[in-house]
Structure formats: structure tokens, C-alpha cells
Amino acid sequence: MSINSPSDHSIARRFAASLLAAAITLSTAAASFAADAVVLRVGDQKGGNRSLLEISGYAKDLPYRIEWSEFPAAAPILEALNAGALDVGYTGDLSFLSVYAAGAPIKAIGGTRSDAKTQAILVRQDSPIKSAADLKGKRLAGTRGGWGQFLIDATLEKAQIKLEDATFAPLGPVDAKVALVAGSIDAWAVWEPYVSFATLKDKARVIADGEGLTPTITFIVASDSAIATKRAAVQDLVERLNKARLWSLDHIAEYAKSTAELTKLPEDVLLSAYTAQRTSPIVIDEVVVKEIQAASDRSTRYGILPKTLDVSKAVDRSFTAAAAGSN
């Protein structure tokens, strides 16, 4: 099964053209808000959406106030959204579905797509593992309930290896990186910029990737409460993030340099990651819903999700439809 969709530059350009229609919204949004009357509580990670908005210039002249909270990973952002402590956050598609399945009052309202090959399974340079066929009996690390666990399971299935014939080690990226270097795990499923860092700095090797296996979509997620009570501000933020992401495609070197200064990650790592990802904004339409539904059903079969989900009920298509024109 292939559920990967191309996000080439021409698609991004068509999306950019459609976003021009939303420029009126951005330029006149101030009329919809009283100064400082609306505060959006937004969860972010270092080098994430806040820096993207600031670097691209789309953080200027906000007709509302953003109260940013920085988190070390997506999981606590989702926990804060579930608890009502945040209005908006940003997280991978499957991590979002894992929390939504548990009853969190949240919806996916926008997002981006990256090249699926930038999710990868890595091994040490000196590892005897040469391909996915060699993963049987090995200890494989990745994030539980997210891209890491899904990519491991999908890769094993593709290689006709039973899931129980390998050991899954639920580790976050920081711990997994240390474990791979130390040799306490045999392989690590992860995404950018960790892939570029591991291959450029630790000389790790890629033995499998997500092409044809994973949607590689990162969702903008909002609480049901924010959608109901702060809709105009949330809509404006989605449009600004989409425009900023399109800006980044034409300014990859500048974006990498600025983010490197902020995060202290090596500039060559970020340049490699951003070039490979070609991260572009998406419209949440029927195609995306079907794609995520396929991944969701597969995750349920793997035991990553506890039950079958109706993805159409987990998304709110109106925000990207408003930004890009009804599809």
C-alpha cells in the first residue's frame, strides 16, 4: 500500500496562489479584534513555529496576542491541549491521533507535509545490518504511538518479518540517539533533523525510510474550545503559518542559518534537513483525510491505536478551506 503523496514545488506554488485570496483576511484582520482582547496560547518547540514566523516576517502586526509556551517534544504539547492549557499546538499525525483516540477535545485544523523519505531507520556505521531484512531479532527504538513506532512496524511488515520477531524499545529522540551510539539498541526510527545529524555527525546509515509507508504530515492542532471562542485568531494564525512555510521553501539557506543560531544545531545539519524535507503547507481535504484514515487503520492493526477511528471527525477542514479556497 502506498499512501505517500508528492508535495513538489508546483503544488506549493498552486497553494501559494490560492493563499493570495487570503491576503485580504490578513490585512484587515485587525478590525476583527480589539487590541490585546484575544490571547492565543500556542505550544511550540525550539526552532519551531515561533521562529519560523519571526524569521519570515509573518509575526509582525498581529491583531491579537500570542502567549508562546516552549516544550521539549510534541507529547507534552498534546497533553497541554488536552488539559485546556493551550489553544493551538503542532504535532505529527499519528501522535495527534493517539491523543484524539483517548478522548482529547481537539481537532487537526491545518498542517504541512514533508518528503516521506525523511523518516528513516538508522543503524551505526559499523552495524552488520544492511537492510530491513536484517531487522529480525533486533532491538529497535522509536517514539511510542507516533512516527517511530509506526515506521518500525510498517518496515517489518514490508520485509515480511512478524512484529513479535523484533523488540520495540519506546525511546524519545534524545535517549534513542544516545542508545544507538552506545550500542544498546540496534536501530532507531526517527525524522529530521535527527536523521541529518546522525548521518552527518555520527556517521549513521539509513537502511529503510518511510516512502510509500507513512503520510509524513504534521498537523496544526487546536482545542475545541479555541475553535469555538477564538476562531478568527486561530484562522489568522493558520494563514500566517502557511505563508511562512511557503517563504521557507524559497529561503532554505537563510532559514537554516537563522534556526541554527537559535537552536545551536549545526547549520549544515539544518540545511540538509530542510532541503530533504521540502516541507509544504497542506489543505485538509478528502485526499488527506483518506490518506490519514489508511494510516490510522494500519496503526489500529499494529496495536499503536487502541481502536478504529473516523478521521473525518478528528479534523476541521474549514480553516484550510478558508485559506486556500474551497477544494
| pLDDT of residue 22 exceeding 80 | no
Reference 127, options 244, 208, 69; nearest CA is: 208
**C-alpha cell of 177?**
540517539
Q: What is the pTM of this model?
A: 0.84
Spell out the residues 6+ positions from residue 315 whose beta carbon is closer than 8 angstroms to its own: 107, 108, 109, 284, 288, 289, 292
Return the half-sphere exposure (C-beta side, CA atoms, 13 A cut-off) of residue 76. 9
Lowest model confidence (mean pLDDT) among 3-12, 65-74, 218-227, 254-263:
3-12
pLDDT for position 6: 41
The residue that leads in pLDDT, 1 or 284, is: 284
Distance from C-alpha of 321 to C-alpha of 298, rounded to nearest angstrom: 27
pLDDT for position 26: 47
pLDDT for position 18: 52
The pLDDT of 250-265, averaged and rounded, is 94
Reference 38, options 230, 264, 215, 187; nearest CA is: 230
pLDDT for position 31: 43
pLDDT in tens, 159-196: 999 999 999 999 989 999 999 999 999 999 999 999 99
The pLDDT of 67-75, averaged and rounded, is 90
Please tell me the class of the 9-114+216-324 domain.
Answer: alpha beta
pLDDT in tens, 265-310: 999 999 999 999 999 999 999 999 999 999 999 999 999 999 999 9
pLDDT for position 323: 58
| End-to-end alpha carbon distance in the chain | 25
Confidence of residue 252 (pLDDT cuts 50, 70, 90): very high
pLDDT for position 146: 87
Helix (H), strand (E), coil (C) string for the chain: CCCCCCCCHHHHHHHHHHHHHHHHHHHHHHHHCCCCCCEEEEEECCCCHHHHHHHHCCCCCCCCEEEEEECCCHHHHHHHHHHCCCCEEEEEHHHHHHHHHCCCCEEEEEEEECCHHHCEEEECCCCCCCCHHHHCCCEEEECCCCHHHHHHHHHHHHCCCCHHHCEEEECCHHHHHHHHHHCCCCEEEECCCHHHHHHHHCCCEEEEECCCCCCCEEEEEEEHHHHHHCHHHHHHHHHHHHHHHHHHHHCHHHHHHHHHHHHCCCHHHHHHHHHHHCCEECCCCHHHHHHHHHHHHHHHHHCCCCCCCCHHHCECCHHHHHHHCCC
pLDDT in tens, 96-133: 999 999 999 999 999 999 999 999 999 999 999 999 99
Query: Is the fold of 9-114+216-324 the same as that of 120-209?
Result: yes
Confidence of residue 318 (pLDDT cuts 50, 70, 90): very high
Q: Which fold has domain 120-209?
A: D-Maltodextrin-Binding Protein; domain 2 (3.40.190)
pLDDT for position 322: 66
**C-alpha cell of 194?**
535527527
Domains of the chain by residue range: 9-114+216-324, 120-209
Per cent of the chain over pLDDT 90 is 81
